[in-house]
Amino acid sequence: MRKDHSAKSNKQEKLPRHERLRQFLAILLITVFVLGSLAGLIVPIFADEMPRPNLPNASETDVYGDWEEPAFSEEDIVSVHYDKAGLDKAALDFLRLWGLSFDTVPTPEQISQTKPQAVPDEETAKEALDLFLAEYDKFVSQYANVQFLYSQNVTDQDLKDELQYTKDLDSSAFNLVLETLQGVQKNPDLQGLLAKVIGETYYKDLADSLAFTPTQEENVKKQNALELEFDGLQNDILNGTADEEKSRDRMADIYIELVRLRNAYAKESGYSDYLAYTEDTATGRDYSREDLAKLYQAIKDYIVPTFYYLSISYDWEALSSYNFLYGSDLLDQVGPFVAGVSSELEASFNYMRKAGLHKVGDEGISEQVSYTISVPSYHSAMIFQFPYEPSAQVSTLIHEFGHFNTAVRQEGWNFFNASNVDIAEIHSQGLEVLFMPYYRAIYGDDLAGAAVKDNLINLLWSIITGAMYNEFETYTHTESNLTPEKIDSKYRELAQAYGVGSNTGREWMFYHIFHAPFYYLSYSLSALGAATFIPAMLEDYEEAVEKYLELTDKGEEAFAFRALLDEVDLPDVFSEDTVKNLADAIHHFGQNPFFWSHEHIENLLDRYGLRSGSENPGLIPDKSHEDNTEAEPDIERGQDEGVVPSPDIAWPEDNQESRVWRYVFFPFLIFVDIIKYGS
């Protein structure tokens, strides 16, 4: 938001020359902006309608192949203290079966220099490796359980202590596995066998991986403690139990110390700073700083205006009367339409429901974040959803379920399955895009369009803020003398450049910035990747779903980000033309979305034994919620009033008047406002 400078006292009759020059330049720039907006955006006003999709004959898909439900449920989500002695024993057993006997865990040098008593056959060697890595998965799964339980109750000191212990153990557990395997890799009598067992790709990754040094392990422990301190401060602020100004002052100090520690960690591995370390070690980031700089500009040129043009036409109160659902009611509401997208997604969703792997947080005691976490011992996952934003309940569930589906379909050794977050977030955001044609069945005729715009605005916001925060973190990790004042000033500068605005200069203080440096860029890149499904599904919905499933089926390791988009025939989002085309497609879909017909929806509900329009249709259960007492809107289904029906797809009329208003008058309002407040 803009800070109000309209009430200034003792205004001079004549400004100094340099102030008049600055005001003239501001007016000139604004004029250029207005004319540029009109020139660049007049085309969509009169452009042809976007193509309309073909209705899928059925939701049956067969991309993933055979799949068995994991043997994991909510009964298995317990906190069990993990003793590293179990992993030590597994390492010794593995080495013994590979012909190397030691009384205590050896160093990589000892492993590489010891001649094996006997070299096992390939099958025996593989079984031994499976057992060793299964023990590591056991540790990771316990870590996941503790994190998941802690998120549900951050006031539980025992869980907090166990989480701290497990976080601290993580680096040494990883080191043990890595150094044991690297020792075998350097053993001249065993390296050929290892290459056969794990394959060429994993063999190279193993050789390139760096173990934590003792200094780095200690560094990570300090980072963990600071991150947990931030969590406590953040939770107290959100619950109104803290002095916010003092808490944020401490958060600034915590962040500066985290940046210092992370840069020191990177220098220990031979890098100039943590940015350079991330660029070299992050999985699948096949783009340069120069590529990013061009993308930042394209986002400012095309995505930022589209965000504001959609925002100005959006009724921000439209969804306030809707009876948003939570927990099992939300799963009831969404389930049939997941089936409409894909039968394979339906199978994953039904497993999640049956196993009780979706948990909803409670205000006051839960961590205020939503996420999906893998449980590799079972090839399963868990979803934690905090209902901090009622209007985002459906999209948040679909987003996290996209991650869940990928996790439960993943095969292979978890230790070697590196995460490419740029790709992982397409799994979630792409599914959100493909789900929007079902919004009319969920929100009703009157609110479906508003729900689509709400989701598109969030998608655009992800693109904008992902780029902005990557610029922000690039600055904080490369600035030699970082101070709270410099951080806040840089954030204000970037917030203005990206049109986000800032009230306090401290809106940057949130979870990802403290816990996951340089992660937020993935939201921007993946949101652009997800947006490519908008023109794809408008052309052929069934084919778009196939592309989405193929993309998720390829996992996160086989291809780098841009290479994967090319592999599944999606456009390169680093191209300026692609960004411009996506901005136009998002604008058109926001103005003129399509929704599946009532007939198509009824067929889906029949599969679930439900009927829209009945006393209890199952989609919108007739239940009241203590935390949401607003009246349920009129969402009668089965009528096509106010829409343009086809046998399969319902298209609302495009509102030409609102489009002209957005392109012609909105830039004028910006012009007036900046003249009023700007100089």
pLDDT top residue among 416 and 623: 416
Please write the tens of the pLDDT for every residue from 642-679.
222 223 444 444 333 333 333 333 333 333 333 333 33
Is the pLDDT score of 616 beyond 70?
Answer: no
**What is the rounded average pLDDT of the residues 161-171?**
93
Q: What's the pLDDT band for 344 if we cut at 50, 70, 90? A: very high
- Please state the rounded mean pLDDT for residues 411-421: 83
Report the alpha-carbon distance of residue 612 to residue 598 in Å, rounded.
9
Average pLDDT rounded to a whole number, residues 63-69: 92
**Across all residues in the chain, what is the average pLDDT?**
82
Higher pLDDT, 190 or 664: 190
77-90 per-residue burial string, b: 16 or more CB within 10 A, e: under 16? bebeebeeeebeeb
What pLDDT digit, counting tens, does each position of 217-242 carry? 899 999 999 999 999 998 888 888 88
pLDDT of residue 621: 33
Strands 358-360 and 371-375: unpaired
- DSSP characters for 266-309? HHHTT-SSHHHHHHHHSTT----HHHHHHHHHHIIIIIHHHHHH
Which of 391 and 274 is assigned the larger pLDDT? 274
Query: C-alpha angle 166/171/177, rounded to 5°?
Result: 110
Q: Which helix (H) or strand (E) holds 88?
A: helix 85-97
Which has the higher per-residue pLDDT, 613 or 166?
166
pLDDT of residue 677: 30
Say yes or no to pLDDT of 327 above 80.
Answer: yes
Name the token pair of 144.
């996941």
Which positions ≥6 away from 289 have C-beta within 8 Å? 279
Above 70 in pLDDT, residue 308? yes
In DSSP notation, 407-471 reads HHH--S-GGG----HHHHHHHHHHHHHHHGGGHHHHH-TTTHHHHHHHHHHHHHHHHHHHHHHHH
**Domain covering 289-477+517-653 assigned CATH 3.60.40.10 in the classification:** no
3-state secondary structure of 374: strand
pLDDT at 466 over 80: yes
Q: How far apart are CA 420 and CA 304, in angstroms?
A: 26
Answer with the residue of higher pLDDT: 51 or 659: 51
Q: Note the pLDDT of residue 404.
A: 97
Q: Do domains 74-281 and 289-477+517-653 have the same CATH topology?
A: yes
Contact 34, 26 (CB under 8 A): no
CATH architecture for the domain at 74-281: Orthogonal Bundle (1.10)
Query: What band does 641 get if pLDDT is binned at 50, 70 and 90?
Result: very low
Mean pLDDT lowest among 92-106, 174-188, 520-534, 587-601: 587-601
Q: Rounded mean pLDDT of 8-17?
A: 35
Q: Domain coordinates of the chain in residue numbers?
A: 74-281, 289-477+517-653
Which pLDDT band holds residue 609 (cuts at 50, 70, 90)? low
Q: Considering only 92-96, 318-322, 541-545, 621-625, which range has the smallest mean pLDDT?
A: 621-625
Evaluate whether 461 touches 561 at the Cβ level (below 8 Å). no
| Residue 289 pLDDT greater than 90, yes or no | yes
Tens-place pLDDT, residues 481-505: 999 999 999 999 999 999 988 989 9
Name the band, by pLDDT with cuts 50, 70 and 90, for residue 476. Answer: very high
Please tell me the predicted confidence (pLDDT) of residue 610: 60
Q: What is the token pair recorded at 273? A: 């700073």
Mean per-residue pLDDT, 12-41: 41
Helix (H), strand (E) at residue 596:
strand 595-596
Residue 636 is predicted with a pLDDT of 28
For residue 173, what pLDDT is reported?
A: 95
